[in-house]
Chain A
Amino acid sequence: MIRRAYRALPGPTPIRVATSVLIVAAALVALHFFYDWVGNTFLDTGGTVG
Protein backbone atom coordinates (compact mmCIF):
# COMPACT_ATOMS: atom_id res chain seq x y z
CA MET A 1 0.00 0.00 0.00
CA ILE A 2 2.78 2.41 0.98
CA ARG A 3 4.78 1.43 -2.09
CA ARG A 4 1.72 1.98 -4.29
CA ALA A 5 1.12 5.41 -2.70
CA TYR A 6 4.77 6.35 -3.26
CA ARG A 7 4.60 5.29 -6.91
CA ALA A 8 1.47 7.38 -7.38
CA LEU A 9 3.35 10.55 -6.42
CA PRO A 10 4.10 12.81 -9.38
CA GLY A 11 7.52 13.86 -10.61
CA PRO A 12 11.01 12.34 -10.70
CA THR A 13 12.50 10.43 -7.74
CA PRO A 14 13.98 13.41 -5.82
CA ILE A 15 10.64 15.22 -5.95
CA ARG A 16 8.82 12.05 -4.88
CA VAL A 17 11.20 11.56 -1.94
CA ALA A 18 10.85 15.19 -0.84
CA THR A 19 7.06 15.03 -1.16
CA SER A 20 6.85 11.81 0.83
CA VAL A 21 9.11 13.24 3.59
CA LEU A 22 6.85 16.30 3.82
CA ILE A 23 3.72 14.13 3.95
CA VAL A 24 5.19 11.91 6.70
CA ALA A 25 6.30 14.97 8.73
CA ALA A 26 2.84 16.57 8.42
CA ALA A 27 1.20 13.28 9.42
CA LEU A 28 3.46 12.99 12.50
CA VAL A 29 2.66 16.56 13.58
CA ALA A 30 -1.08 15.93 13.10
CA LEU A 31 -0.75 12.67 15.02
CA HIS A 32 1.07 14.47 17.86
CA PHE A 33 -1.78 16.98 18.23
CA PHE A 34 -4.37 14.22 17.99
CA TYR A 35 -2.63 12.10 20.64
CA ASP A 36 -2.18 15.19 22.80
CA TRP A 37 -5.88 16.03 22.63
CA VAL A 38 -6.97 12.44 23.36
CA GLY A 39 -4.51 12.16 26.26
CA ASN A 40 -5.46 15.51 27.76
CA THR A 41 -9.16 14.78 27.47
CA PHE A 42 -9.43 11.17 28.62
CA LEU A 43 -6.18 10.06 30.22
CA ASP A 44 -4.74 12.92 32.26
CA THR A 45 -6.20 16.43 32.20
CA GLY A 46 -3.53 17.81 34.50
CA GLY A 47 -5.54 17.31 37.66
CA THR A 48 -7.36 20.65 37.87
CA VAL A 49 -10.78 20.82 39.45
CA GLY A 50 -13.82 22.79 38.38
Chain B
Amino acid sequence: MSETVTAPPAAAGEAAPRIGSVLRIVRGTGWTLIWLGALTLGFVVHQLWITTWLAQLNQADLDAEREAYFAGAVITEVEYEPPLDPTAPPSSVPPGTTVVPPTNGDGTPVRVAGAPLVLKVEAPPEEHTTFALIRIPALERLRDGWNIVEGVTRADLKNGAGHMPWTPLPGQPGNAVISGHRTTYGAPFHELDELTPGDRIEVETALGTHVYEVRESIIVKPTELWVTEPRQGAWLTLTTCNPKFSARERLVVFAELVAGPNAGVMRRAS
Protein backbone atom coordinates (compact mmCIF):
# COMPACT_ATOMS: atom_id res chain seq x y z
CA MET B 1 0.00 0.00 0.00
CA SER B 2 1.44 3.28 -0.92
CA GLU B 3 0.50 6.76 0.09
CA THR B 4 0.99 9.65 -2.25
CA VAL B 5 1.59 12.95 -0.53
CA THR B 6 0.93 15.95 -2.62
CA ALA B 7 1.59 19.48 -1.60
CA PRO B 8 -1.46 21.54 -1.05
CA PRO B 9 -2.05 23.99 -3.90
CA ALA B 10 -1.78 26.93 -1.47
CA ALA B 11 1.99 26.26 -0.81
CA ALA B 12 2.90 26.68 -4.49
CA GLY B 13 0.98 29.93 -4.51
CA GLU B 14 3.04 31.26 -1.54
CA ALA B 15 6.43 30.33 -3.12
CA ALA B 16 5.84 32.43 -6.24
CA PRO B 17 5.68 35.84 -4.50
CA ARG B 18 8.72 34.87 -2.36
CA ILE B 19 10.78 34.17 -5.51
CA GLY B 20 9.45 37.38 -7.01
CA SER B 21 10.61 39.48 -4.07
CA VAL B 22 14.07 37.80 -4.07
CA LEU B 23 14.38 38.58 -7.78
CA ARG B 24 13.37 42.19 -7.11
CA ILE B 25 16.07 42.51 -4.43
CA VAL B 26 18.73 40.96 -6.70
CA ARG B 27 17.70 43.20 -9.58
CA GLY B 28 17.68 46.28 -7.34
CA THR B 29 21.12 45.47 -5.95
CA GLY B 30 22.42 44.89 -9.47
CA TRP B 31 21.12 48.24 -10.72
CA THR B 32 22.51 50.03 -7.64
CA LEU B 33 25.94 48.53 -8.29
CA ILE B 34 25.76 49.46 -11.98
CA TRP B 35 24.89 53.07 -11.07
CA LEU B 36 27.64 53.25 -8.43
CA GLY B 37 30.12 51.92 -11.00
CA ALA B 38 28.96 54.46 -13.57
CA LEU B 39 29.27 57.30 -11.02
CA THR B 40 32.78 56.17 -10.05
CA LEU B 41 33.81 55.89 -13.70
CA GLY B 42 32.34 59.34 -14.30
CA PHE B 43 34.39 60.69 -11.39
CA VAL B 44 37.62 59.28 -12.83
CA VAL B 45 36.85 60.65 -16.30
CA HIS B 46 35.95 64.05 -14.79
CA GLN B 47 39.08 64.31 -12.67
CA LEU B 48 41.60 63.05 -15.21
CA TRP B 49 40.30 64.39 -18.49
CA ILE B 50 37.51 66.94 -18.07
CA THR B 51 39.40 69.10 -15.52
CA THR B 52 42.52 68.97 -17.71
CA TRP B 53 40.50 69.93 -20.77
CA LEU B 54 39.00 72.87 -18.83
CA ALA B 55 42.47 74.00 -17.67
CA GLN B 56 43.90 73.77 -21.19
CA LEU B 57 40.97 75.78 -22.55
CA ASN B 58 41.91 78.55 -20.09
CA GLN B 59 45.60 78.55 -20.99
CA ALA B 60 45.10 80.37 -24.30
CA ASP B 61 43.20 83.18 -22.53
CA LEU B 62 45.84 83.29 -19.80
CA ASP B 63 48.65 83.53 -22.38
CA ALA B 64 47.00 86.63 -23.84
CA GLU B 65 46.43 88.07 -20.35
CA ARG B 66 50.08 87.49 -19.42
CA GLU B 67 51.38 89.10 -22.61
CA ALA B 68 49.19 92.15 -21.91
CA TYR B 69 50.52 92.26 -18.33
CA PHE B 70 54.13 92.09 -19.53
CA ALA B 71 53.50 94.93 -21.99
CA GLY B 72 51.95 97.19 -19.37
CA ALA B 73 54.04 96.29 -16.31
CA VAL B 74 55.68 99.12 -14.40
CA ILE B 75 59.31 98.27 -13.62
CA THR B 76 61.31 100.32 -11.15
CA GLU B 77 64.75 100.08 -9.59
CA VAL B 78 65.15 100.25 -5.85
CA GLU B 79 68.21 100.18 -3.63
CA TYR B 80 68.41 96.86 -1.84
CA GLU B 81 69.46 96.61 1.79
CA PRO B 82 70.12 92.94 2.54
CA PRO B 83 68.74 92.00 5.95
CA LEU B 84 71.43 91.59 8.59
CA ASP B 85 71.63 88.06 9.90
CA PRO B 86 71.86 88.26 13.70
CA THR B 87 72.53 84.52 13.93
CA ALA B 88 75.85 84.75 12.06
CA PRO B 89 78.36 86.99 13.88
CA PRO B 90 81.93 87.12 12.51
CA SER B 91 84.02 84.20 13.73
CA SER B 92 86.64 86.57 15.24
CA VAL B 93 84.11 87.88 17.77
CA PRO B 94 84.24 86.01 21.08
CA PRO B 95 81.04 84.18 22.02
CA GLY B 96 78.64 86.29 24.04
CA THR B 97 79.77 89.59 22.51
CA THR B 98 76.98 91.81 21.17
CA VAL B 99 77.70 92.85 17.61
CA VAL B 100 76.51 96.37 16.74
CA PRO B 101 76.71 97.08 12.99
CA PRO B 102 78.28 100.46 12.12
CA THR B 103 75.68 103.11 11.40
CA ASN B 104 75.52 106.55 9.81
CA GLY B 105 74.49 109.57 11.87
CA ASP B 106 70.81 108.95 11.08
CA GLY B 107 71.01 105.33 12.21
CA THR B 108 71.06 103.68 8.76
CA PRO B 109 73.68 100.92 8.39
CA VAL B 110 76.97 101.90 6.75
CA ARG B 111 77.75 100.08 3.50
CA VAL B 112 81.47 99.49 3.70
CA ALA B 113 82.49 99.01 0.07
CA GLY B 114 81.12 98.74 -3.44
CA ALA B 115 78.34 100.43 -5.37
CA PRO B 116 74.79 100.36 -3.99
CA LEU B 117 72.83 97.21 -4.74
CA VAL B 118 70.05 98.03 -7.17
CA LEU B 119 67.19 95.61 -7.49
CA LYS B 120 64.71 95.53 -10.37
CA VAL B 121 61.15 95.43 -9.05
CA GLU B 122 57.78 95.11 -10.77
CA ALA B 123 54.50 96.37 -9.33
CA PRO B 124 52.53 93.57 -7.65
CA PRO B 125 49.99 92.06 -10.05
CA GLU B 126 46.26 92.11 -9.34
CA GLU B 127 44.94 89.02 -7.62
CA HIS B 128 43.44 86.27 -9.80
CA THR B 129 45.32 87.46 -12.90
CA THR B 130 48.23 85.75 -14.61
CA PHE B 131 51.60 87.49 -14.41
CA ALA B 132 54.30 84.88 -15.05
CA LEU B 133 55.17 81.59 -16.72
CA ILE B 134 56.96 78.65 -15.11
CA ARG B 135 59.12 76.39 -17.27
CA ILE B 136 61.06 73.32 -16.15
CA PRO B 137 63.10 71.84 -19.01
CA ALA B 138 63.66 68.56 -17.11
CA LEU B 139 59.91 67.85 -16.89
CA GLU B 140 57.97 67.00 -20.04
CA ARG B 141 54.76 68.60 -18.79
CA LEU B 142 56.41 71.94 -17.99
CA ARG B 143 58.88 72.10 -20.87
CA ASP B 144 56.70 74.60 -22.76
CA GLY B 145 55.60 76.43 -19.62
CA TRP B 146 52.46 76.88 -17.56
CA ASN B 147 50.91 80.17 -16.52
CA ILE B 148 51.22 81.43 -12.94
CA VAL B 149 48.22 83.18 -11.44
CA GLU B 150 48.39 85.60 -8.50
CA GLY B 151 46.49 83.81 -5.72
CA VAL B 152 45.97 80.30 -4.43
CA THR B 153 42.18 80.07 -4.20
CA ARG B 154 40.51 77.02 -5.73
CA ALA B 155 39.48 79.10 -8.74
CA ASP B 156 43.06 80.40 -9.22
CA LEU B 157 44.56 76.93 -9.11
CA LYS B 158 42.08 75.64 -11.67
CA ASN B 159 43.58 78.08 -14.17
CA GLY B 160 47.27 77.68 -13.51
CA ALA B 161 49.92 77.38 -10.87
CA GLY B 162 49.19 79.83 -8.04
CA HIS B 163 51.57 82.31 -6.43
CA MET B 164 50.93 82.95 -2.73
CA PRO B 165 50.27 86.72 -2.68
CA TRP B 166 51.84 87.23 0.76
CA THR B 167 55.23 85.95 -0.48
CA PRO B 168 57.63 87.92 -2.73
CA LEU B 169 57.28 87.74 -6.50
CA PRO B 170 59.67 85.38 -8.32
CA GLY B 171 63.06 87.00 -8.83
CA GLN B 172 62.80 89.05 -5.65
CA PRO B 173 64.67 88.49 -2.35
CA GLY B 174 62.99 86.11 0.09
CA ASN B 175 60.91 83.06 -0.62
CA ALA B 176 58.47 83.11 -3.54
CA VAL B 177 55.97 80.26 -3.11
CA ILE B 178 54.05 78.70 -5.99
CA SER B 179 51.51 75.88 -5.63
CA GLY B 180 50.02 73.68 -8.31
CA HIS B 181 47.78 70.68 -8.96
CA ARG B 182 49.42 67.27 -9.11
CA THR B 183 46.78 65.12 -10.81
CA THR B 184 43.87 67.33 -11.92
CA TYR B 185 43.31 70.62 -13.79
CA GLY B 186 46.20 70.05 -16.19
CA ALA B 187 48.36 68.69 -13.35
CA PRO B 188 51.23 71.15 -13.92
CA PHE B 189 53.22 69.70 -11.01
CA HIS B 190 52.53 66.03 -11.86
CA GLU B 191 56.21 65.12 -12.26
CA LEU B 192 57.61 67.39 -9.53
CA ASP B 193 58.97 64.34 -7.68
CA GLU B 194 61.33 63.70 -10.60
CA LEU B 195 63.30 66.91 -9.93
CA THR B 196 66.78 66.40 -8.52
CA PRO B 197 69.24 68.90 -7.02
CA GLY B 198 70.80 70.97 -9.81
CA ASP B 199 67.74 70.88 -12.11
CA ARG B 200 66.78 74.27 -13.47
CA ILE B 201 63.47 76.06 -13.01
CA GLU B 202 62.79 79.12 -15.14
CA VAL B 203 60.21 81.72 -14.22
CA GLU B 204 59.43 84.35 -16.80
CA THR B 205 58.06 87.61 -15.39
CA ALA B 206 57.78 91.17 -16.68
CA LEU B 207 61.39 91.69 -15.54
CA GLY B 208 62.80 88.83 -17.60
CA THR B 209 63.60 85.17 -17.00
CA HIS B 210 64.69 84.18 -13.50
CA VAL B 211 66.60 80.91 -13.36
CA TYR B 212 66.53 78.85 -10.18
CA GLU B 213 68.44 75.69 -9.32
CA VAL B 214 66.80 72.95 -7.28
CA ARG B 215 68.50 72.49 -3.91
CA GLU B 216 66.21 70.13 -2.00
CA SER B 217 62.88 68.25 -2.12
CA ILE B 218 61.00 67.30 1.04
CA ILE B 219 57.64 65.86 2.02
CA VAL B 220 55.68 67.61 4.76
CA LYS B 221 52.20 67.70 6.27
CA PRO B 222 49.72 70.12 4.64
CA THR B 223 49.75 72.27 7.79
CA GLU B 224 53.53 72.89 7.81
CA LEU B 225 53.44 76.56 7.00
CA TRP B 226 57.14 77.06 7.80
CA VAL B 227 58.04 76.07 4.23
CA THR B 228 56.59 79.43 3.08
CA GLU B 229 58.59 81.52 5.57
CA PRO B 230 61.12 84.11 4.32
CA ARG B 231 64.65 82.88 3.52
CA GLN B 232 68.02 84.55 3.22
CA GLY B 233 68.74 85.20 -0.48
CA ALA B 234 66.24 84.68 -3.32
CA TRP B 235 64.39 81.38 -3.29
CA LEU B 236 61.54 79.69 -5.10
CA THR B 237 59.43 77.11 -3.29
CA LEU B 238 57.09 74.84 -5.24
CA THR B 239 54.40 72.91 -3.37
CA THR B 240 52.00 70.22 -4.57
CA CYS B 241 49.94 67.31 -3.23
CA ASN B 242 51.66 64.05 -2.35
CA PRO B 243 51.42 61.16 -3.09
CA LYS B 244 49.76 61.36 -6.50
CA PHE B 245 45.95 61.05 -6.23
CA SER B 246 45.98 62.00 -2.55
CA ALA B 247 45.94 65.24 -0.58
CA ARG B 248 47.47 63.59 2.49
CA GLU B 249 50.90 65.30 2.28
CA ARG B 250 52.74 68.01 0.40
CA LEU B 251 55.80 67.63 -1.82
CA VAL B 252 57.95 70.75 -1.46
CA VAL B 253 60.82 71.72 -3.76
CA PHE B 254 63.25 74.48 -2.72
CA ALA B 255 65.25 76.20 -5.46
CA GLU B 256 67.72 79.09 -5.32
CA LEU B 257 68.07 81.96 -7.78
CA VAL B 258 71.20 81.51 -9.91
CA ALA B 259 70.62 83.70 -12.98
CA GLY B 260 68.35 86.47 -14.16
CA PRO B 261 67.79 90.21 -13.76
CA ASN B 262 68.35 90.22 -9.97
CA ALA B 263 70.73 87.27 -9.58
CA GLY B 264 73.88 89.42 -9.64
CA VAL B 265 72.53 91.69 -6.91
CA MET B 266 71.59 88.72 -4.75
CA ARG B 267 75.05 87.19 -5.22
CA ARG B 268 76.73 90.46 -4.19
CA ALA B 269 74.40 90.82 -1.21
CA SER B 270 75.15 87.37 0.18
Contact = CB atoms under 8 A, between A and B. Distances in A.
B228 A43 contact: no
A46 B250 contact: no
A44 B220 CA distance: 15
Contact of B245 (A31, A32, A41, A43): A43
A45 B154 CA distance: 8
A47 interface: yes
Interface string A31-50: 11001101111111111111
B189 A47 contact: yes
Among A32, A42, A47, residue most surrounded by chain B Cβ atoms (within 10 Å):
A47
Contacts of A39: 43, 46-47, 51, 184
A46 B162 contact: yes
B130 interface: no
A48 B247 contact: no
Contacts of A44: 47, 181-185, 187, 241, 245, 247
A46 B153 CA distance: 9
B171 interface: no
**Which secondary structure characterizes the binding site on chain A?**
helix
Contacts of B50: 32
Contacts of B31: 1
Chain B: interface secondary structure? mixed
Contacts of B245: 43-44
A48 B247 CA distance: 10
Contacts of A31: 39, 42, 46
Interface string B70-89: 00000000000000000000
A29 to B, nearest CB: 12
Contacts of A48: 152, 157, 162, 164, 179, 222, 239
B224 A49 contact: yes
Interface string B115-135: 000000000000000000000
A46 B42 contact: no
Contacts of A1: 31
Interface string B145-173: 00000001010010000101000000000
B43 A40 contact: no
B246 A43 contact: yes
Given A49-B220, A49-B224, A49-B227, A43 B164 contact: no
B223 interface: yes
Contacts of B181: 44, 46-47
B240 interface: yes
A46 B42 CA distance: 21
The 9 closest A-B pairs by CB, nearest first: A46-B157, A47-B240, A50-B225, A47-B179, A35-B46, A48-B179, A45-B247, A44-B184, A48-B152
Interface of A: 1, 31-32, 35-36, 38-50
Given A36-B51, A48-B239, 12 more contacts: A1-B31, A36-B46, A43-B245, A44-B184, A44-B241, A46-B152, A46-B162, A46-B181, A47-B182, A47-B251, A49-B225, A50-B225
